[in-house]
A and B are shown apart, each in its own frame.
Chain A
Amino acid sequence: MCLALFSGSLDKLTAAGVILSGAAADDMEVDIYVLLQAARAFKKEIATNRDELKLAENTHLRKEFIESLDKLNVKQWHEFFKEAKELTNVKIHICGLAGKIWGGEKLEDFIDLADDIVGIGEYITAAEEADIHLFI
């Protein structure tokens, strides 16, 4: 599976995490390309701080959304990514341009789950080869 992760919103990142978990249960190989807004969310100081992340839709319901997630014992978005990496072959590639836009030049600027910083050519090749391709 190839996932182009553009969104840096809490709801879409959570959805991506749930989809990723399904792929992990199936032992799929997954390549995630972290693009523009998502690259900000993957920065070390942002990823674990929910206050930094907005909702993509129904933004006025953010508080209720977070309360529901907690009540249902739903993991934090980055914990889904971590667990999937433990279960299957998931590679997380940060788009070099996106990283720079948010002041992330090096791999160390992003959470430990990130595997490398890449150019768009790698994404196109992965998308071409994957059976499932998603843009979130």
Chain B
Amino acid sequence: MNEEELKAISVDKSVDARGTACPGPLLAAKKAIAEISSGQIMEILSADEGTRKDIPKWAAKKGHEYLGTVEDSGYFKIYMKKG
């Protein structure tokens, strides 16, 4: 999905992991995705650069669909659809 589509997307779950360094955001994502249903959308807010690559790879491995990442000021939002 492109940035405009991602910005317009309605999320079912938003996880703010900006207060933690690696591996905090990854574990926050793992815990939170258990709370939504297949097909629902989750966004993870993170200011940790490593997480930016980690979460898409983790999502693919776990059968979720990585939708894209949007940059904001000093952090980014990573979007995925639960598989």
Contact = CB atoms under 8 A, between A and B. Distances in A.
A55 B31 CA distance: 31
A21 interface: yes
Interface stretch (A2-10, A22-30, A38-46, A102-110): A22-30
Contacts, number: 29
> Looking at chain B, what size class is its interface with the partner chain?
10 to 19
Interface stretch (B21-29, B37-45, B66-74): B21-29
Contact-size category for A: 10 to 19
B20 interface: yes
A24 B24 CA distance: 12
Contact of A73 (B19, B58, B61, B62): B19
B42 to A, nearest CB: 14
B7 interface: no
A27 B26 CA distance: 12
B13 interface: no
Nearest to A71: B21
Interface of A: 18, 21-22, 24-27, 72-74, 83, 87
A26 B27 CA distance: 10
B22 A26 contact: no
B19 A18 contact: no
A1 B62 CA distance: 17
Nearest to A68: B21
A26 B29 CA distance: 11
